[in-house]
Each structure stands twice: as structure tokens, then as C-alpha cells.
Structure 1
Amino acid sequence: MALQSLVAAAAGQSVLGNTVSDYTAALLIFVVFVAAAGGVQWLLLRYFVRLARRTDTAFDDAMVAVVQTIKPPLYFLLGFYLALHYLRVTGFAERVVNVLLLALLVYQAVAALQILIDYFVQRRLIHAEDRAVQSAARVVKTLSSIVLWSLGFLFLLSNFGIDVTSLIAGLGIGGIAIALAAQNILGDLFSSLSIYFDKPFVPGDFIIFGDYMGTVQEVGIKTTRLTSLSGEEIVVPNTEITSVNVRNFGRMKERRVEFSFGVTYQASSEQLQTIPGIVREAVEQQKQTRFNRCHFHQFADFSLHFEAVYHMETKEYSAYMDAHQAILLSIKEAFEREGIEMAYPTRTVYVHEG
């Protein structure tokens, strides 16, 4: 009986405005919450790990990474926060706990969002191996990280009672000054992102724009590098490429070829009528070609002018040149057999004697 009375007396004593029973209940709440939070995290992590092993998608891997970012200090502090609500504490202690808890929650939210953004960026890189795509992905991840952590920091300052309006205004003015000082660099940076997302060309494409032509070797953050037909490297700022029209021969599926020639006025009408058939036969003898048309086009100054069109069913330039050369040689041989003369600039001078 004496022991029970002593225990009851001790439980009823007040320490810092709370009884021993209150502290015991708060401790119990803290322990139960921490154990429950740890158990829920373990179950979620186990579920997502098992799901990741059964599927080929990367989203469940991202969810595993999100759950793994939840560290014990977070649910320790949450448990302590809940336990404090059962006790009567001073305003300062409660304020400290609120500040720490808010900071941890903001950190957790930003870290989770960053993982999800990395996941979506990674999805864009699954089938991409060139360095341009990797550079653009690094830029996107860096910019998103800066934006997220900046917003989180401003959110914390606002909840701490600090007026962030003047700070945002100052950052805005500073940002404008930096942007003006580095506008060329920033312009090239955003142009590289435009090239990455819009993909007007990729490494390996032969392009022509402005006074430049060549095969794209690399699309960097600031410049694009080409190899010209003569072999030298051409380095062009990205802003210059995105501000002009670009002709991309790498996307060409077939080549339309138009050529013309003339025969002399001494050719007979019967010979002229055989010329379209000669051209058709010469084109159809070559592989990967498709004849379109051949017509007597006009009476020129020194020739009877013909115009012919055919299609090459390949984008390879060397294959086109080989086929075109063979077609022209075949036409020349056929004209020699038929006695048809090719025209060239001539002048006939009549001398009157008298």
C-alpha cells in the first residue's frame, strides 16, 4: 500500500507544468508513432522493390528511391511533434519543433519531386546515346533543381515570418542584370534545349543553312559542330541555327532529280519523238530509280530543249551520282546510235560576196 501511494504521488507530481503521467503518455505516443511510421515505410519499400523486380518500367524504381529518401529523423520529429501536443509546453519549444518539422517536410517534398523529374528526364534518354541529349538532360535537371530548392527556401522564409516580397524583387533585379550580361550565353543555352526537344536535326544529318553546309557531328550546350564537305570543322552558335531556315537532307527519303539537255535543230521530228523513250530506258536501267517524265520543253536560241525528271529511292549522295552518271552516258550512247547531235552554243556567219 505504501508503494502504491508513493507511485501515485510521484505520478501526480508536476514537472515543468506536466505530470509524470503526462510525460509517460507522450513517450508512449512517440514510440508508437515512430514504430508505426518505420513499419509503414518498410512495407512500402518492400512492395515497390518486389514490384520493380516484376516489371520493366522505371517508375517503380523511382518510387523506391522516393520512399528511401524518408529518413528516421523525419518520423522521429513527427512523433515528437505529436507527443508535444499532449503536453503543455512553452511557446519557444513548440516554435523550435515547428520550424524543424517544416524544414524537414520541405526537404522531403523537394527531394521527392527531384527524383520524379529525374525519372521523366531519364525516360527521354532511354533510346538516346549522343552527347547532345545527355547535355540537354543535365541542363534540365540542373535548372529544375535550382527552381525547386529556391521555391522551397522562399517557402521556409515566408513561414518563418520573413517578408520575401523585397527579396524576390531583389532577385528579380539581379536576375535581369545577369541575364543582360550573359544574354548570348543564355540564348545559346535555350537554343540548345530547343534543338533537343524539337529535333530539327540530329548528329549524322547533312544540313544546309545560311552560308554553311555539312554533316552534324555534335550539338552542344553553346555551339553545334559540323564537318564540311572539304573536311574542316565548322562551329556555329546555336542561336544562329535556330534563327534561320535549315534544309535537312538527313530526313530525305528519296531525291527528285531534274535535268535538261538540248539537241540541234537539224534533228528530225521522228528523232525528237524517240528521245523521251530513250531517256525512260536509260533511267529504268538503273537500280533504285523511278522515271517520272521527259518532254520537249522549248525552242531555245541554239537548241531544241528537253526536260526530264526522275526519282532516286535512296538519300545516299554517292548512289545518286553513280546512277546519274550512268543515265547521262546511256543517253549519249543512244543519241550516237540514232544520229542525234547534242546542241552547244554556235553561231553561223553568212558572208555575202559581191
Structure 2
Amino acid sequence: MKEILNKHFFNNSISDYILTLSLLVLVFVIYWFCRQLIEKKISQRKEMTSSKLNSLFIRALLKNVVPFTFLLINYFIINRLHFTPRGEKILDFTINVVVIFFVIRIINYTLHLSVQSYMQLKGEPEARMRQINGILMVIKGLVWITGFLMLLDLKGYDIKTILTGLGVGGIAIALAAQNILSDLFSYFVIFLDKPFEVGNIIKVNNQVGTVEHIGIKTTHIRDIMGELLIFPNAELVKTPLQNISRLNFRRAVVPFDVKLDTSATQLDEMTRGLEALVLSVEHTEFLRACVTGFGEYSIKCELIFNIHCFEYRDFANYRQQVILKLIVHLESLGIRLAQPVRIINSESIIDN
């Protein structure tokens, strides 16, 4: 039996193969047990807490760290065997690919988890959480490219030559795709500066609509007629726009004319009583009420106040309440609103 175990095949004895296989099986059993334990922890977290971050952390452990550790231990076990120079090169290259692959996955997952955790702590809405995925996708792509270049460097390729070629090619690609890159850069500007967010009502190019989607290249806006408007991000960054959803108040200007025979005492009583009149309507802020001048057949007056509301229909309702109270106030003071007067010269009609 001992002679059989000591027999060599491909530079290794049968006992070495048996020991290696036994260790691999043992490691696999431990790996399976750890995986089951972590999956159980995930299910318990879902039942015990509503926080997603802990579950994401455990899931990252399950998808990346545990398999990486398992493969790394297998490598050290297999590396006990003696291989030919070609076999050692293949094994070393394979482990390099595995290490770089899992390191990049761990970096990207950690980056994603950190950004998501930070945004949750800031109380960012779900729309912003989805929007950050576009930026993370670009960053993750750069990390994968860096890992690929590292792999080429380990393989013995001249990275400086490759980077030089990529630089020249990158300039050509940038010139050919400058509109796309401009929209991509504008996407970063929109995300960081936050001129508008998903769900906001904005006005751009005399068109009013609700922002439905902010993509890497375009932003989708649903106008008040139900049509979907698609704007390039670069155009939205360059074009002045109004974010109607961020209105703190709307200003109401109510001009009105009274008859020329209105006395100065009546006008003074009228203007002094308008502040209390405006403030009697909720969500209003009085600014000024004054006589502004003379018309051809009237005395011109003006009432200006702010209404603190977002919806235009609410604004119109509060403004109407103030105007109705204004009419009652004028009637109580005996002041009559001036009406347009048209004078017809009858003599010129007769002459004709």
C-alpha cells in the first residue's frame, strides 16, 4: 500500500494528490457551512430590522469576500503540488485573474454601499438614489479598466505604450463623441448642483412639465398636455429654467381704478384698511397699497401682496378672496370703481 501511495505521476505522489483532494473537500464543506450561516443571518435581518444597509453588507460578504477567501485557500492547497513551468505560469495567471476580479468587485461594492449609506443618512429620496447609479456605473467602469491594465502589466505588457495609445485614441473618441460627453458631464452637474429633481415641475423654453427621469444623456419631462419632452442634459444646463416646485410664494398685483370724484379722505381710509383686509385671508403677506396716479377718467390704485402656497389653483383661490373683500371694503367707504368711458363726438357724425 505504501508503495502505491509513493508512486509519482506528473511530479507528484499519489499520497500528495489524496491529501490535496481531502483538503479541498474539507475547505468546500467549511465554505458551504459558512454560506448557509450567512444566508440565515440575512433572512434574520429581514425579519428583525427594516434597515437595508446591514443586509447589503452581509450580502457583499456572501457574494465577494467568502468566495474570494475560498478560492484563495484552494490556490494555496493546490500550490503544494509540483507543476511543470508551463503549469505554474497558467496557475499563477489564473490566480492573478481571480484576485483582480474579486478585488475590483469588493472595491465597487464597497463604493456603492458607502455612497448609498451616505445618501440614506442625508435623507435623500429614492429618485436621487436611482440617479446616483448612473454616476456609479461610470466610476465602476473606470475601476474595471484599471484592473484590466494591472492584469496586462502582470502579464508583461508595456502599460506605458498602451496608455499612450489609449490617450491618442481617447482624444479621437472625445472629438467624435463630444456631444455625448457634454451630456454626461451635464448629468454630473445636474446631480451635484440639483437645479431640479425627479418630480419637480420646471419651466424651460416656455414649456412647463414634471421631471419624470434624469438619465445619463437625456432628461424626460411630461408637459401639462401629457406629452413627453426629451431634453439633452447639456441643453438643460445651458438654458435658463424655472423650478416652479421650489416657489416659496407667489406675488399678486391687483390694479384697480376708482372714480375721479373720490375724495382724498376716502382714498386715505381705503389704503389704510387694505393691510388688515389682506391679512384676514390665510397664507397672505401684505406688501403695499397705494394710489399710483391719474388715468384719463379715473384715479389709479394698486394692491400688492404675497400668497405663500405652491399650487396655482390655491393661489387663484386666495387672490379671489382678497379681491372680493376689496370690493366690499370699497362699497363700505362709498367708493365706486371707475368704468371705461367712451366719448363720441356727435357733431362729427352729423357733419359726415
Mark yes or no: TM-score above 0.5.
yes
What is the aligned-residue RMSD (CA, Å)?
4.1
Residues 1:111 and 2:105 aligned together: yes
Q: 1:28 to 1:193 in 2, by over 3 A?
A: same
Q: How far off its partner does 1:240 sit?
A: 1.8
Q: 1:327 to 1:76 in 2, by over 3 A?
A: closer
Give deviations 1:97-139, integer Å, cap 9, x for gaps. Answer: 2111111122222233344445456666997566x964x3553
Q: Which residue of 1 aligns with 2:349?
A: none
Give deviations 1:170-193, integer Å, cap 9, x for gaps. Answer: 223323322322222332344344
Matched letter for residue 227 of structure 1: D
Matched letter for residue 86 of structure 2: F
TM-score of the pair, normalised by structure 2: 0.73
CA distance, structure 2, for counterparts of residue 233 and residue 22 of structure 1? 69
Equivalent in 206, 217, 220 of residue 212 of structure 1: 206
CA distance, structure 1, for counterparts of residue 228 and residue 7 of structure 2? 86
Residues 1:227 and 2:217 aligned together: no
Instruction: Count matched residues.
Output: 336
Q: Which residue of 2 aligns with 1:98?
A: 92
Give deviations 1:31-89, integer Å, cap 9, x for gaps. Answer: 6655556655555555555455433222332233333335769735633434535x555
CA distance, structure 1, for counterparts of residue 172 and residue 196 of structure 2? 33
Q: Which residue of 2 aligns with 1:311?
A: 306
Q: How far off its partner does 1:306 sit?
A: 3.8
Gaps spanning 5+ residues in structure 1: where? 1-5, 349-354
Superposition map of 1:1-354 within 5 A: 7=2, 46-47=40-41, 50-51=44-45, 53-69=47-63, 75=70, 78-82=73-77, 84-85=79-80, 89-119=83-113, 128=125, 134=130, 136-209=131-204, 211-221=205-215, 222-228=218-224, 234-263=229-258, 266-280=261-275, 282-296=277-291, 298-300=292-294, 304-336=299-331, 338-342=333-337
**Deviates further, 188-197 or 101-110:** 188-197
CA distance, structure 1, for counterparts of residue 74 and residue 226 of structure 2? 68
Give deviations 1:192-247, integer Å, cap 9, x for gaps. Answer: 444345432235533334x424122423421332415x776554332222223332
CA distance, structure 1, for counterparts of residue 327 and residue 67 of structure 2? 86
Gaps spanning 5+ residues in structure 2: where? 344-352
CA distance, structure 2, for counterparts of residue 239 and residue 150 of structure 1? 26
TM-score of the pair, normalised by structure 1: 0.73
Q: 1:344 to 1:179 in 2, by over 3 A?
A: farther
Q: 1:255 to 1:165 in 2, by over 3 A?
A: same
Q: How far off its partner does 1:25 sit?
A: 6.5
CA distance, structure 2, for counterparts of residue 232 and residue 42 of structure 1? 51
Q: 1:207 to 1:20 in 2, by over 3 A?
A: closer
Overall identity of the aligned pairs, in %? 25
Question: Contact 2:56 / 2:113 at 8 angstroms: preserved in 1?
Answer: yes
Matched letter for residue 221 of structure 2: R
